[in-house]
Each structure stands twice: as C-alpha cells, then as structure tokens.
Structure 1
Amino acid sequence: MAESQLRCLEDGLMPPAVPESRPQFYYSEQHRAALERLITGGHGAFTSLLKHEDGQDFLSAREVKTITGTFVKYPSEEDDGAKRGSRNSSGSMRSTYWPQMSDTEVPPLDLGWPSSGLFKGVTRVSVYTHPPKENSPHIKEVTRKLIQESSKVVAIVMDLLTDLQILRDLFEASKRGVPVYIVLDEPGAPLFLDMCSRLQVGHRELKNIRTRTVKGIGLNLSVGRIPGNVQSKYMLIDGDKVMFGTYSFSWSSSRMDRNMITVMSGQVVDFYDNDFRELYAISDKLDLFKQFHMTKPQTGTLSRASVSKRPAVATSRFQVNLGDVTRGDGKVPAHKYHNPKYLLALGQIPGPTEPLQDFLNKMDPEPEPENPTADLENITPAPSPPEKKESKKLRKLTFNTKRWRKGKKDKTSDAVIEENAANPSDEASKHTLPSDETQDSLKKKKRGFRCLFTKS
C-alpha cells in the first residue's frame, strides 16, 4: 500500500494532494477508479471516465491487454453472496483485516547458509554485455563459470530459468553437495518444470535443490486483484559474489537479446543477501519431488553452511590469532589492539571485551620499588675498565708504520714497541684515581638513579 494511503488510516488524517510534477507523486485515486472502470466496463468506459475528470490516459496498449488478461476476481462464498451484491451496488469497499504477524510458517534455509556480518573487503565491479565488448567473455560463459566454481551456496532470483546448459550446471553443483536455492516468478514456474522433465532429473540432482515461487506486488481493487511480476534477476555465489542485470537464464535471452550483467564482490553483497532471504520468506513452496513423483529424502535442518575452520594459531606477528570464534576466545595481538578495524575479521564474538587500560597494565614488566633510595645505597659500583688513550707521539708512530709498510723495513713499529715496554707505569698512572674522586663519582651515579626513578 502506498504511503499516502497509510497516512489516511491514522485518525482520519488527510494529507495534502501531491501534484504529478513532484517526484513524490505515486498513488492517485483517479487512476484506481479508472482501473476499476476498465475491468468492469471495458476500454470505452475507461477513456470516458478520464475525459470526464480531465485526466490523461496513463496506460499503453500493451498494459491494457496485460491487465485485462491477468485480472483475477476475489473468490466468492455462498454464505455472503447476498451481502456482497449489496456492497457492490452501494459502492462500498471490502472489509480488510490487518494482522500484525504472519499466520504462516517462515520457510527455513534447511540446506545451510553462509554466515553474514563479517567484513568482505572493498567492492569490486566487473561489467559484461551481449554482444561482448573489448574481447570480454560472453555473459552466459560468465554465469556458467560462477556456478561451476561455487563451493558454499548458489541462490538465484529469476523470472525465467529454461536454459539447458545452466540447468545442468546447477544439477552438477547439487551433486557436489552445494546447496542451490531458486526463487522463480510464478508465471515462469511451469516452464522451469517442463525443462527439468526433459533432462530427466533424479534424486541425486534434486537432493540439494530447493525451489520456490514468488509473486509481484500487484494491485488490490474492490472487485479483484491485478497481479504483478518479479523483474529482479540476480544470483548469489558463496555469499561473497553477486551477479545481476537484465539477463534471463533462457536460450533466446543469451542469443537474440541485448543484455548487460554486473558481477560485484565486497560489502555490497550483504544487501542482496538480505533481499534474497526476504523473498524466500514470502515465497510459495514448489516441491520438485512431488512434481516428479519422487520420495523426498530425510534431511536435517541446518542454520549455517559448513565452512572451513580458520587457523587456531597465528603463524606471524602480523596475523590475528582468531582461535575458536564459536567459543568466544578470539584474541588480537598487542600491536593491533588499538586499531578497531582488525576486529572486523573476528565478526560478532560473544563475551565482554577487555578494557585497554587493563591490557596495558598487564604489559608492565615489574612493579616499581617502594623505597628506591635504600636500594641504591646497597648498590656496589663495578670497577670501570681503564680507558686506553693513545698519546700524540704513539699515533704519529703508528701512522708512519702503516705508511712505510710497503717495500720498506718496519723500523717505526719496533720503536713503538720499545717505547711502550720501557714506560709501562706511565699509562697505568694516568688511570689511577684518588679515593676522593671515587666517592664523588659514586654520589653522581646515585643522584642519576634517583632522578630516573622519580621521572618514571
């Protein structure tokens, strides 16, 4: 129902009329009355009503033919036949009840469905056309390759599915154990069943396939209902790829029609994931085992498709240690703890998260001492090794030794050795410190340690 109609139901509130020139214009009471006149009185009564109310003809010849050919009257009951005649004569609307919850059971995805909510990366887009452009593959080749490479699930929403090659690929995927869900437009279901009977499918082909039909929104009138069609055409592969466009899975669409498809991967796939589950929930069951007079095998109900487990231990310090996510013990390394984008790889992990301050407190190596001054007094300084300083004369003689090494006798090196051997006490005396200077150096070291602990 249109938003303008819903507003009228709220305490008799009548919103102002929206002119046709504004983009918000959608529902028109004049159009509804003209459609009822078209169904009850024919095309002549339809045009005369529009002319009388200064309205424009809003239906093409093809739409007029489709509406009059697909119109469905409400089922009549013998008990209230007289009341129905009085209501139609007085022009009153039919009574309608508005349930808050559906009285039918929601169909489960019993073959499994991949988990959603995990980060799928950036969106990547590829466009293909028929006829192909720039040496790109044919749209049918792209479609068949996606089905043949599937490993988790194949979900299709299509108005017409009659291509024999695509049907064989779907049955082969079912034999491999890949769940296949098909939601068809209701008028296209008999054509789909006819092509399946030509392929002579059996239990193995139908074991992992679930087929349902869905109707368009349609338009409810006081005298009957005008059905609609499903024009959505897309296919989900493994929960991380989607193919959509104008291409219907039929031989004529892939040969004679101009079509365009788009293959996307990334976070945008979640939108199609939710849309498919909504369509599947409101669809009607099409039991292939019953249609082909087969006994349906007993299968358990699964909530999620089986997916390969992630590594329990990280192999590198740059990887996230996921652990067993189902138990909620997923962990993130310390160098990635501050960045929230790495938590997207964990999905929805149950259990409380650890605050950052508690995490940093655990990383402290040792607690600070209560009295650092007393510990410093007990420290015995280690004797520092004597520093070797070369005199100017020694450096000069060593340089001359390197200079005269080629082709001459090494007289300078002998002189250096004799000089060092003659005065061994001179170098040792330079590094000998009096007791007063030693105590001053120890006091300076203690002051440095106190400043260090005070700052920390």
Structure 2
Amino acid sequence: MAESQLVCLEDGLMPAAVPESRPQFYYSEQHRAALEQLLTNGDGAFKSLLKEEKSQDFLSAREIKAITSTFVKYKQEEDDGGAAESKPKKQPTTDKREDSGSLRSTYWPQMSDTEVPPLDIGWPSSGLFKGVTRVSVYTHPPKESSPHIKEVVRKLIQESCKVVAIVMDLLTDLQILRDLFEASKRGVPVYIVLDELGAPHFLDMCSRMQVGVKDLQNVRTRTVKAVGLNLSSGRIPGNVQSKYMFIDGDKVMFGTYSFSWSSSRMDRNMITVMSGQVVDFYDNDFRELYAVSDKLDLFKEFHLSKPKTGTLSRAAVPKRPLAATSRFQVNLGDATRGDIKVPAHKYHNPKYLLALGQIPGPSTPLQDFLSTMQPPDPTEEPENPMEELENLPPAPSQTGKNSKKLKTPTKSKRSWWRRQKQDKTSEAVTEENTADEASKHTLTADDTSEAQDSGKKKKSTFRNIFKKNK
C-alpha cells in the first residue's frame, strides 16, 4: 500500500489538500476515484468523471493500457460476501474460536512479524571508511576510447572476490549469467533480487543453461514487488526500476542498463561505476530490499537436491610445489608420496653462538656443534691451579650464614707454588736478555760498512754548517 494511503488510515489524521501547482503534490482522492471508474466501468466512465470533477486527464494511452492489462482482482474467498455465498452456512455453536475464525483480520502491525532472511553465505563488513568517492561513466553506444557497458559489467563480476549483490528488473543475458555462476563456483557469494514480473524469464534462461547443484550452492535468489496501488476491488502492480550491482562492499554499478541481450545491443543506456564512502547507501538499500523480498528456491524450481547444511563450494586451490620451508607445511594427502623433500629443522639460533665464543657462519653438522659444547676432561691438571681458584666467583650458598667454606690449600703448598712461579719467570727473563746481547754482537761486515758511511756523512754535514756560521 502506498505511504499516502497508510497516512489516511491513521485515526484523527486527515492531511491537508496540496494543490497541483506545488512540488509537494503527490496523492489526490479524485485520481483514486477516477481509477476505480476506469477499472470497473471502462475508459468512458473514467473520462466522464474527470469532466464532472473539472480535472485534467492524468493518464496517457500507454499507461491506461498497462494499468488495465496488469490489474489484479482480489480473490473471492478473501471477501466476506463472496465467501458467505459460496460456502454453506454453519450451525451456530458456542465455541468463540470458530466464530472469531470467520471474521476478517484487522491486524496492522507497525513492524513485520516474519523473520528477516539472513545473508547466510557471507557479506563484507560495513561501516568502515572507504575513502574518497570516485566516479566513472560509461554509455551505449560507447564514447571514444571507452569500453561498452557489458564489458564493464562482466569485468566487475569476474574480478569479484567477496560478494556480488544484484538488484535488477530483468536478468536474461547468457554471458552475464554464466559469469555469475562461475563466480559462485569460486566461492564468491552471489545474491540476486529480481522484479516479480521478471523472475519467470530468469528461470527460463537458467533452465536453458542446465544449471546444476554446484552452480547454485553459493547463489541466493529472491523476488521483490514494487510499491503498486491498492484499490477497493484489486491491486495495480508496479515494476522494480532499481538497477544496480554491489561488488565486494566497496564498488557499485548503477544506471539504466538491464542485464539482457537487447538492452546491451539495441537500447541507449548509461551506467555509473562508483567507489568510496557513497557505497554504504547501496549496502543499506540492498539489505532493506532483501528483507522485504520473497524467496525463490532454485533447487525446488529445477528439482535438485539441496546440499548438506554448512557445505559451501569453495574455489579449488591448485597444488603448490612440494618444496616447503617447514616440515609442517606438507599436506597429509601428499605425505604418502615419496618425492617430497622435507627441510631439516633449525636446532639452534646462530645468535646464541656468540655466547659460546663462536662467530656465526655457515651451518655445521649437528654432531660437530655438539662436540664443541662438551665439558673438558676432568683428568687434565690445570697449569696454574692457584690462579683459577682465586678467580672463581663465590657460590650463592656461600653468602648465607650457615654456608660451608671451601677447602683452600695450606701455606706450605702456597709458598711452593709461588717459588715455582718465580723461578719460571726469572728463567724466561734471563733467556730474553741473552738473546738480545747475542743479536747485538753478531753484526755482519755489511752492517759495519753501512754504519761507517753514515757516520762520515754526519761529520761532513756538521762541518758545512760550522763554516756557514763563521
């Protein structure tokens, strides 16, 4: 029902009449009465009523033909009078529930009492900032150095990776349908909301393509009605003229182009592709249309068995080369094959070699590395045991009061070690002195001649300086 009609149903509220000269003019009771005459008594009664009301004819010949051809009358069983005449009279009973069941419903909920259909196969997160709005416009026939509109649409579908949501009056283009089903096989959720009058044509093209279960696993299709106009005897349906496609949550394509062969070849059309923050408007609009739409079960229409719950078709991941960087990156299915080369683990980090006094370099075998970490042989005696004992740090247990003292050598042993050390140092000093004296006395003849020549040169230089001073 139109919003203006719902306003009239509210108690005690009668909107003021708006003249036709004002932009706010939308609904007229005279127009509604004229439509009633057109649908019940024909075109003559319609025009005569307009003359009596001194109103102009507001319908074109094409609109009159479309209204009279699409008008849908209410079913007779829904009418009280028709139901009373067709059905036999019941005997009066005392059960109030049977009496209330024959009454017409007067339930006008503020909100829908049915569950909202979920977007069960995935939907990108919204509410995030999507950047500056960018706009591109395409036409048919295309402008200079611009692709045609069908190419733009197919490229958007083929490059999608998160979601494809379509609101369309007519979806019958064979290539676009094939692109949508291929996207669903790749694991991209595909949502389609069609006009109720265009749904039969969509089903006809799908049956020609012989779609299967794999094609429909990630596809959800629903139909939506237009606003229409409700009258006392029936309803005038309308058409869904919204034509847009929502891609990956950050792009949208909208315009006059319908997804049909004739629209892309023979009609003049214009589409606009936008990205940025303005895309949130189309995100919300699609959710609203999806919530008020009716389910179109493609599995039931084509007599196919539904897959099990929770098993969605995903894109087949190609097998990667068997070489891996870790032992745990090998699939279980590939483990049975014999040509897998599993790399060895890193048993140590090279930076820890610095603590062991080694320079990190090319990796060495594990056995050689462990051999460097073995403790020294306890049977070997130290060269200077006294120095090692003096340089040892105190044990933690020695700081306590009740700690035991370490056993140290006696005074006699200390004096013996000191004498031995002094004897060794004195012997080393004497050996060095004798070596220096021997080297001084062992000069060759060449060395002496060189020394004499250098002495003569020095004497001559001193004589020359002395003469100049005089």
Q: What range is the shorter-chain TM-score in?
A: 0.5 to 0.7
Report the equivalent of 1:114. 124
What is the distance in 2 between the residues matched to 1:290 and 1:83?
33
Report the equivalent of 1:57. 57
With the length of structure 1 as denominator, give the TM-score of the two structures.
Answer: 0.62
What is the distance in 2 between the residues matched to 1:118 and 1:72?
44
Report the equivalent of 1:75. 75
Report the equivalent of 2:160. 150
The structure with more radius of gyration: 2
How far is the alpha carbon of 1:79 from its aligned partner? Answer: 8.0
How far is the alpha carbon of 1:76 from its aligned partner? Answer: 1.8
How far is the alpha carbon of 1:97 from its aligned partner? Answer: 3.5
Report the equivalent of 1:273. 283
Report the equivalent of 1:33. 33
- Whether the 8 Å CA contact 1:162–1:191 is kept in 2: the answer is yes
Residue in structure 2 matching 1:227, options 220, 237, 243: 237
- Offset from partner CA, 1:172-207 (integer Å, 9 cap, x none): 001100000000001111111111111111111111
- Whether the 8 Å CA contact 2:77–2:83 is kept in 1: the answer is no
- Whether the 8 Å CA contact 2:2–2:229 is kept in 1: the answer is no
Report the equivalent of 2:296. 286
How far is the alpha carbon of 1:80 from its aligned partner? Answer: 2.3
Equivalent AA in structure 2 for residue 230 of structure 1:
V
What is the distance in 2 between the residues matched to 1:176 and 1:128?
28
What is the distance in 1 between the residues matched to 2:78 and 2:108?
24
Q: Is 2:228 the counterpart of 1:211?
A: no
What is the distance in 1 between the residues matched to 2:77 and 2:36?
21
With the length of structure 2 as denominator, give the TM-score of the two structures.
Answer: 0.60
Distance 1:82 1:259, change over 3 A: closer
Residue in structure 1 matching 2:138, options 122, 128, 131: 128
How far is the alpha carbon of 1:73 from its aligned partner? Answer: 1.0
Residue correspondences, number: 294
- For the residue of structure 2 that corresponds to 1:77, the secondary structure is helix
Report the equivalent of 2:186. 176
Distance 1:10 1:170, change over 3 A: closer
Report the equivalent of 2:437. none
Report the equivalent of 2:466. none
Distance 1:270 1:287, change over 3 A: same
- Offset from partner CA, 1:352-389 (integer Å, 9 cap, x none): xxxxxxxxxxxxxxxxxxxxxxxxxxxxxxxxxxxxxx
How far is the alpha carbon of 1:75 from its aligned partner? Answer: 1.6
Residue in structure 2 matching 1:164, options 149, 165, 174: 174
Distance 1:3 1:168, change over 3 A: closer
- Whether the 8 Å CA contact 1:110–1:300 is kept in 2: the answer is no
What is the distance in 2 between the residues matched to 1:192 and 1:104?
26
Bigger mean CA deviation after superposition, 140-149 or 198-207: 198-207
- For the residue of structure 1 that corresponds to 2:135, the secondary structure is strand
Distance 1:95 1:55, change over 3 A: farther
- Offset from partner CA, 1:112-154 (integer Å, 9 cap, x none): 1000011000100000000011210110000000000000000
- Whether the 8 Å CA contact 2:256–2:271 is kept in 1: the answer is yes
Distance 1:7 1:111, change over 3 A: closer
Distance 1:13 1:197, change over 3 A: closer
What is the distance in 2 between the residues matched to 1:228 and 1:158?
14
Distance 1:235 1:49, change over 3 A: same
How far is the alpha carbon of 1:285 from its aligned partner? Answer: 0.7
- For the residue of structure 1 that corresponds to 2:197, the secondary structure is helix
Equivalent AA in structure 1 for residue 66 of structure 2:
T
- Offset from partner CA, 1:378-417 (integer Å, 9 cap, x none): xxxxxxxxxxxxxxxxxxxxxxxxxxxxxxxxxxxxxxxx
Long gaps (5+) in structure 2 = 86-103, 313-470
What is the distance in 1 between the residues matched to 2:40 and 2:117?
38
Distance 1:11 1:102, change over 3 A: closer
- Offset from partner CA, 1:57-76 (integer Å, 9 cap, x none): 11111111111111111122
| Runs of 4+ more than 4 Å apart | 1-11, 82-85
Distance 1:62 1:297, change over 3 A: same
- Whether the 8 Å CA contact 1:235–1:242 is kept in 2: the answer is yes
- For the residue of structure 1 that corresponds to 2:263, the secondary structure is helix
Equivalent AA in structure 2 for residue 38 of structure 1:
L
Equivalent AA in structure 2 for residue 73 of structure 1:
K
Report the equivalent of 2:209. 199
Equivalent AA in structure 1 for residue 191 of structure 2:
Y
How far is the alpha carbon of 1:98 from its aligned partner? Answer: 1.3
What is the distance in 2 between the residues matched to 1:78 and 1:67?
23
- Whether the 8 Å CA contact 2:163–2:249 is kept in 1: the answer is yes
Distance 1:82 1:128, change over 3 A: closer
- Whether the 8 Å CA contact 1:158–1:233 is kept in 2: the answer is yes
- For the residue of structure 1 that corresponds to 2:76, the secondary structure is coil
Distance 1:136 1:36, change over 3 A: same
- Offset from partner CA, 1:49-103 (integer Å, 9 cap, x none): 0011101111111111111111111122288226889xxxxxxxx9853112323
Distance 1:48 1:238, change over 3 A: same
How far is the alpha carbon of 1:15 from its aligned partner? Answer: 3.4
The CA RMSD over aligned residues, in Å, is 2.1
Equivalent AA in structure 1 for residue 67 of structure 2:
I
Bigger mean CA deviation after superposition, 13-22 or 154-163: 13-22
- Whether the 8 Å CA contact 1:213–1:284 is kept in 2: the answer is yes
Report the equivalent of 1:259. 269
- Offset from partner CA, 1:264-313 (integer Å, 9 cap, x none): 000100000000011011111111111111011123399xxxxxxxxxxx
